[in-house]
A = this chain, B = another copy of it.
Amino acid sequence: MRLRVRFAETDQLGVAHHSSYVIWLEAARIEWLRERGLSYRELEESGLSLMVSNLNVEYRQSTRFDDEIDLEVTLQELRSRQLAIGYRLRRRLLATATTTHIAADRTGKAVRIPADWLAAMLASC
């Protein structure tokens, strides 16, 4: 997935604010699912979500307004109720990150990830 740094995403140091990366990770994760035939929108409409339970970002280099960034997404761990996703952001390498997710229903209770979702994600490992 490729995106371009928005002006609104910069801060007064002239670089993308570190919180912007968190937004990009989410967008990349949703595109990565879409490429596997998985609509996060439909998952949410069915009452499930993949809540973020851990977020870890290792910042390597800053990036500036209007830069194009490539995001590589890899599935790091997949269990029945939990998954972890890894990210590499490159122009030159900007950051690496991992997010861990827990499947939850509308009340926030942890539930199993639907079997077809498990299968589609495992197919990409």
Contact = CB atoms under 8 A, between A and B. Distances in A.
Chain A facing B: main interface SS: mixed
Contacts of A56: 54-57
A74 interface: no
B55 A27 contact: no
Given A12-B12, A52-B59, A57-B54, A30 B17 contact: no
A40 interface: yes
A64 to B, nearest CB: 8
Contacts of A65: 12, 41, 44
Ranked nearest first, the 7 interchain pairs of A and B with the lowest CB-CB distance are: A10-B12, A19-B22, A41-B66, A12-B14, A18-B52, A55-B57, A56-B56
